[in-house]
Copies of this chain bind each other. A is one copy, B any other.
Amino acid sequence: MARGTYERQTMVRRSATGRIGIADVAVKAGVSHATVSRVMNGNFTVDPEIAARVRAAAAELKYQPNPVGRSLALGKTDTIGIVVPDLANPTFQAILRGLSRAAAQDGYRVLIADSFEVSSEEAILAGEARRRCDGLVLCAPRMSDAELEELVPSLHPLVLINRTTTAADVPSLVVDYGQGVQDLAGHLVDLGHTRLAFLAGPPRSASNGLRLQGLEAFKAAHPQVEVLMLEGGSDFDTGHEAVDAVLDSGATGILAFNDLVAMGLMSGLHERGVDVPGDISVTGFDDIPFARYTTPTLTTAAVPITELGQQAWHQMRALIRKEENDAPGSRYQPRLEIRASSGPAKAPRTAAHG
Contact = CB atoms under 8 A, between A and B. Distances in A.
Interface of A: 17, 62, 64, 66-69, 71-72, 75, 77, 79, 87-88, 93, 96-97, 100-101, 104, 109-114, 116, 127, 129, 131-132, 154, 236, 240, 263-264, 266-267, 270, 289-290, 292-295, 297
B293 A264 contact: yes
26 contacts: A62-B154, A64-B127, A67-B131, A68-B68, A69-B72, A79-B111, A87-B96, A87-B97, A87-B100, A87-B101, A88-B97, A88-B289, A93-B93, A104-B114, A109-B111, A109-B112, A110-B112, A111-B112, A266-B295, A267-B292, A267-B293, A267-B297, A270-B295, A290-B290, A294-B294, A295-B295
A111 B110 CA distance: 6
Contacts of A71: 68
A100 B114 contact: yes
Given A68-B68, A109-B112, A109-B113, 17 more contacts: A62-B154, A66-B131, A67-B131, A68-B71, A68-B72, A68-B132, A69-B72, A87-B97, A87-B101, A96-B112, A101-B114, A110-B111, A111-B112, A112-B112, A236-B290, A267-B295, A294-B295
- Identify the interface centre among A17, A75, A132: most chain B CB within 10 Å of its CB: A132
A270 B154 CA distance: 53
A269 to B, nearest CB: 10
Contacts of A240: 293
Is chain A's binding surface mostly helix, strand, loop or mixed?
helix
Most chain-B CB neighbours within 10 Å: which of A69, A96, A289? A289
Number of copies of chain A assembled together: 2
A114 B104 CA distance: 9
A17 B76 CA distance: 10
A132 B67 contact: yes
A131 B71 CA distance: 12
Select the residue from A17, A62, A270, A293 with max chain B CB neighbours within 10 A: A293
Contacts of A96: 87, 112
